[in-house]
Amino acid sequence: MYVLVSKWARSMMAWPLGIAISKEAPDSIIRVRSEYGNSFLITVGDVVTMNTIRYWRVPDLAFMDLKTRRTIGMGGVETVGFDRVINIVNKPATLSIEVINAVRDAMRDAVNGIHVLIQVDGEEDLLAIPAVLLAPRGSLVLYGLYTGYLIAIPITDEYKLAMLKLFSMMKPANA
């Protein structure tokens, strides 16, 4: 079973659901590092993940699709620093039960000290939703907005509730 993103929910994803940082890397990463130093760290997106590794550290959990802006292949992406690489398929504008379960399992491993990279065939952006919902409180999720902002979501009850509301706007569909 898949959950499809409604047009309303998709339009909501275009707005930053967290703290928007307008500075380019490395300044944006350095700012986040100075504020959230030792937090359990999750990154969503290739550029954000690579900049985080370059200017801070290997995330505890990362999501990449080996593309930027959905078309430009990243090529030669290093998985150095990750203890485990998981490959999943996530159709555009959807989240499947299998994908959510894979995120849950990866989150459990990451919480136990294993650095996990999830390589996504398809769309990785929406995986920020289950990442926020499943992340331990006090964690930090970073993702890039297509407008060039780095978005930081400190995992609090309020942000979890916001993501739960967004998730509730999605509608079930058959595979």
Q: Is 121 annotated as a binding residue?
A: no
Q: What is the pLDDT of residue 96?
A: 87
Q: What is the pLDDT of residue 20?
A: 93
In terms of phi and psi (left: phi > 0; alpha: psi -120 to 50; beta: otherwise), the region of 124 is: alpha
Closest residue by Cα to residue 64 from 95, 85, 33: 85
Q: What is the pLDDT of residue 139?
A: 98
Q: What is the pLDDT of residue 120?
A: 95
Q: Is 48 annotated as a binding residue?
A: yes
Q: Given the DSSP bridges, would you call strands 41-44 and 61-64 parallel, antiparallel or unpaired?
A: parallel
Q: What is the pLDDT of residue 123?
A: 86
Specify the pTM: 0.89
Q: What is the pLDDT of residue 74?
A: 47
Q: Is 65 annotated as a binding residue?
A: yes
Q: Is 125 annotated as a binding residue?
A: no
Q: Is 58 annotated as a binding residue?
A: no
What is the number of structural domains in the chain? 1
The range of the structural domain enclosing residue 33 comes to 2-173
- One digit per residue, pLDDT tens: the chain, 175 residues? 667 666 666 666 667 789 999 999 999 999 999 999 999 999 999 999 999 999 999 999 999 998 765 444 445 556 779 999 999 999 888 888 999 999 999 999 999 999 999 999 998 988 999 999 999 999 999 999 888 899 999 999 999 999 998 888 887 765 4
Instruction: Transcribe the chain into DSSP letters.
Output: -EEEPPHHHHHHHTS-SSEEE-PPTTHHHHHHHHHHTTS-EEEESHHHHHHHHHHT---SEEEE-SEETTTEE--S---TT-SEEEEEEE-TTEEEHHHHHHHHHHHHHHHTT--EEEEEEE--GGGHHHHHHHSPTT-EEEEE-TTS-EEEEE--HHHHHHHHHHHHT-EEE--
Q: Is 124 annotated as a binding residue?
A: yes
